[in-house]
Structure 1
Amino acid sequence: MKLKKVMSMAMAAAMVLGMTATAEASEGTEAAAETAAEATEAAGENASQTVSPLDLLAPEVDETEAVFRVCTYYGGDNTVFADYAAEKIKEKYPNVTLEFETYPSDGGQTIKTRAATGDLPEILMVDSGTISVLAESGSIIPLDEYIEKFRLADYYNDSIMQNTLYAPDGHMYHFQIGSISPILWYYNNELFEENNIKVPENYDELLAAVKAFREKDIIPMAMFGKEPWPLGAFFDSFAVKEVPGGCYALSKGEVKASDEGIQKAVGKIEELIQAGIFQDGVTNTDFDTASALFKEGKAAMMLNGSWYTGDVIEPMAGKVDIMAAYPTADAGSEAVNEFCMTGGGDTNGMAVTASAKDPELAAKIAFLFGYYREAAQYQAKGLVTTPLKSDVLTLDNELDPISQKLLGVVNEYTYDTKFLHTLPNTKFATIFTEEMQKFLVGESAADFTANLDKAIEKTVE
């Protein structure tokens, strides 16, 4: 049974948050085992080189009943991936029940508040915006001992082991979800074609496209400006053409907002804002709302990570594509810093909180959940930036056109800046978010620049 079939079954029960060791769980176990057997046969000799995580971590069957609350991506396709991972865990831990909570998309504010009141689930998704705060407060526990015990290097690719495994304090607190991913500009090719608008390759063409779509009452770009990181990514889409370090360089005081290169980027952004590039209420728009505008053909473009590809391929049915490079350079200078991207990697994954009564078992469940969630996503959607070693994984279908296109250029991408929420200078990141939101709704470029320079003076040691 391919994952696609398992996924369709999971979708039918997407609102079921708990799992029980009933006949239904047994059926799920048989389906998952059949999927694993097919993957082994397809992988051939490579499959024998790596021990299955289930065999490595759980050769015994633990009869102890245990319930783990798991706060992670949940809803839509994420529900399918989470439920698939839960089925795999059921194979060796039939007495373990997972109760899922949807991770709030508010920059980590809800999680930090819950941590302060001692109300965290046993297994929790963390990222650079929350991991240091939770570690310092003792809300999550170090997992260093499991690097060797769980043989993580056998399962994660080298870029994960080298770049995203450790928190700033040098300890490991999470099992990875997500990989080294570029932020891409997606576009609705049908809207461009039907309205005879050229897909932009430089800034002049981008500005022309924005004005043309506005004349036709089509939103040029859907943006979820309620969250911090997309604002930083949009800014960096322009800044990296002039100053590859972008927001990261600003946060370290290596450049100022008033410097020539940053000013050039700020000027272009201001011009696009005034031309109406975003939808009304952009700073109050969450991801789901922005994504719906794009998928429903109400917006011509959308900025998001490479992980978004799987979400839009099927519902947009051939109407979606990506720009391999940002269309933000001056005409004639497209090749300058052509593949310097915003995005990269994050210490993003499943942590074990101090509330776990059995930390060892919780660590096993957290690792297995993260591994099989990512394996399911790769298998179903061909995510070419998977954090896992893919030689023992299989695909349900051939790579989609976007993934094939990305595969051809992803090795040329470089990342000199960082996600806004992963900046070590968190005070600057907070101020930048506030200023960027004000910029989007009318703050002048002069005030935006002056306030950022003040932030650099105040926050850079």
Structure 2
Amino acid sequence: MNKYIHLSIVLLILFVTIGCSKETDKTVNDNSQEHIKLDIAIHVANPKGQEPAFYWIVQRFMEKYPDIKIELHGTEQKAHIKKIKMMAQSDSLPDIFWVLPSSAKELAEAGFLLDLKPFLNNHPEMVENLHLNMLDSYSLDGQQFGLPYQSLVTGIWYNKAIFEKNNLKLPETYDGLKSAVQTLHENNIIPIAKGANDPYSVWAFLTMLSRYGYFEKIDSILAGNESFNNEDFLNFYRKIAELRELGAFPKNVATQSYFQAVQMFLNGEAAMLDAGIWETKKIEESSIAGDVGFWWGPTFTDGVGNQKISSIVPAAPLVVNKHVEKDKAKYEAAMKFLGFYFSEEGASIMIENQVAPIMKFDGEIDSDLHPVFANVMNVINDTSWESKQNQPDLIVSEGIANAMYDSIYGVINGIYSPEEAIKIVDSKIAR
């Protein structure tokens, strides 16, 4: 692949690294005992503050295995992705790292990633307890090149108090949502908080797109046998335009960030927020905690297929550098970490930090102590809804995903008509 260095350069780097350096990944602890070092890199600048569940899993793991030292490296997502691509070019990837699905697949195809199928074979209980759609997305030609970092659960947070104050019930259908938006706007309340400065923040709208036959069509579209510019998708984009015309979004949506949109919701200025359950803890610590619910979004009478589609999908994967297998001690340490991460103990740490565990969870959440999280888990466990297999933007290339974000926010901002928006994605796919 053009984005990776030529094989001769890789071999030269490996020769220099192996032949000229005697440095190892064994370090010495305060008691002068050797321990194994693992480098783990994730996609946030402040792991303890932004990804506390992962951070505390790392801390508890090191307490359990004091002979293993984990260096946890956190970098803001865009910079992290860029850094991973540069490290791949120099064949110096971290031992374990978070990466976008499209990049993970490219790295797997180029031979940079460890096959985790043996790990799964050694942990059949883990496979049995995972949601069915959590592994298939990261399998290629019989190789398991990644495991889900977390369950990616996205939808619409809503403020029950605002709905009640305006004599509104949580809508079930698009027509109900449209009516609620109109009432809220007329009463000077922002219906849906959004921020286009972070263009990926369209999760609920991607789920709505799934209700127009996205997964039934996308393989054929990518193969060139069908077009993204089709009547069903156009109907969806027309709904977005209609919501914009009704005043569904903040006036400053074009200049606002996702994080400002979150704050707008927490301040009680907006009735709804397009986000995911990673905001659970922040909401529980806010003044509106007792009034917040979680919703999968509206169904559509002109939609395609099952309308009761939820979004409980595998988050971008954790992957392992293939070079790890060359060092037996490091390989065993990496497998121990994955085993801990996907264990009941790992799941309990996620629950402690109000993150829905990757594994199936049948326990109860204390609704008095954690009302928001308890509500979320009840919604997740509602079997009358069926999760889509993945998030629509995570099964296409990064370029196509960016075009999808641009098209949705382009309509929200009034820059594109629905017809222009779908042509943008169609043109990107054609290229």
> What's the TM-score, normalizing by structure 2?
0.74
User: Does 2:54 match 1:82?
Assistant: yes
Q: What code does the residue aligned with 1:337 have?
A: N
Whole-Å separation in 2 of the counterparts to 1:183 and 1:222: 15
Counting only pairs closer than 5 Å after superposition, residues 375-390 of structure 1 correspond to structure 2 as: 375-381=348-354, 383=356, 386-390=357-361
**Structure 2 equivalent of residue 144 of structure 1:** 117
Q: 2:37 aligns with which of 67, 84, 98?
A: 67
1:278 Cα deviation from its structure 2 partner: 2.7
Counting only pairs closer than 5 Å after superposition, residues 53-452 of structure 1 correspond to structure 2 as: 63-72=33-42, 74-75=46-47, 78-102=50-74, 104-106=76-78, 109-118=81-90, 120-149=93-122, 151-154=123-126, 157-160=129-132, 163-164=135-136, 166-179=138-151, 182-226=153-197, 230-231=201-202, 233-237=204-208, 239-243=209-213, 245=215, 248=218, 250-251=221-222, 256-280=227-251, 282=253, 286-306=257-277, 308-315=279-286, 316-323=288-295, 325-330=296-301, 337-341=306-310, 343-346=311-314, 348-354=316-322, 356=324, 358-369=330-341, 371=343, 372-381=345-354, 383=356, 386-390=357-361, 397-398=366-367, 400=371, 401-403=374-376, 405-407=378-380, 409=382, 411-416=383-388, 418-424=390-396, 427-441=399-413, 442-452=415-425
Whole-Å separation in 2 of the counterparts to 1:349 and 1:63: 33
* Compared CA separation, residues 388 and 158, structure 1 to 2 (3 A): closer
1:408 Cα deviation from its structure 2 partner: 5.5
Whole-Å separation in 1 of the counterparts to 2:255 and 2:334: 36
1:427 Cα deviation from its structure 2 partner: 4.9
Q: What code does the residue aligned with 1:291 have?
A: V
* Compared CA separation, residues 247 and 195, structure 1 to 2 (3 A): farther
Count of residues in Structure 1 that have an aligned counterpart in Structure 2 = 389
* Compared CA separation, residues 453 and 78, structure 1 to 2 (3 A): closer
Which deviations, in whole Å up to 9, do the C-alpha atoms of 1:193-224 show, x marking residues without a partner? Answer: 23444433332332233233334443321235
* Contact 1:244–1:340 (Cα < 8 Å) also in 2: no
Which deviations, in whole Å up to 9, do the C-alpha atoms of 1:382-430 show, x marking residues without a partner? Answer: 73xx322547xx6673574513641562x22224564133214555334
Structure 2 unaligned blocks of 5 or more = 1-27
Q: What code does the residue aligned with 2:213 have?
A: V
* Compared CA separation, residues 322 and 160, structure 1 to 2 (3 A): same
> What's the TM-score, normalizing by structure 1?
0.70
* Compared CA separation, residues 299 and 262, structure 1 to 2 (3 A): same
1:187 Cα deviation from its structure 2 partner: 0.4
Aligned Cα root-mean-square deviation (Å): 3.9
1:267 Cα deviation from its structure 2 partner: 1.1
* Contact 1:71–1:125 (Cα < 8 Å) also in 2: yes
* Contact 2:133–2:313 (Cα < 8 Å) also in 1: no
* Compared CA separation, residues 395 and 100, structure 1 to 2 (3 A): farther
% identical equivalent positions: 20
| 1:141 counterpart SS class | coil
* Compared CA separation, residues 163 and 267, structure 1 to 2 (3 A): same
| 2:72 counterpart SS class | strand
1:185 Cα deviation from its structure 2 partner: 1.7
1:269 Cα deviation from its structure 2 partner: 0.7
Q: What code does the residue aligned with 1:157 have?
A: N
* Contact 1:178–1:387 (Cα < 8 Å) also in 2: yes
Which deviations, in whole Å up to 9, do the C-alpha atoms of 1:158-198 show, x marking residues without a partner? Answer: 4358744733343123343323x553221011222234444
Structure 1 unaligned blocks of 5 or more = 1-19, 24-61
**Structure 1 equivalent of residue 24 of structure 2:** none
**Structure 2 equivalent of residue 17 of structure 1:** none
Whole-Å separation in 2 of the counterparts to 1:287 and 1:376: 27
Whole-Å separation in 1 of the counterparts to 2:76 and 2:176: 37
Whole-Å separation in 1 of the counterparts to 2:148 and 2:393: 17
Q: What code does the residue aligned with 1:126 have?
A: V
**Structure 2 equivalent of residue 42 of structure 1:** none
| 1:412 counterpart SS class | coil
Q: What code does the residue aligned with 2:243 have?
A: L
* Contact 2:134–2:313 (Cα < 8 Å) also in 1: no
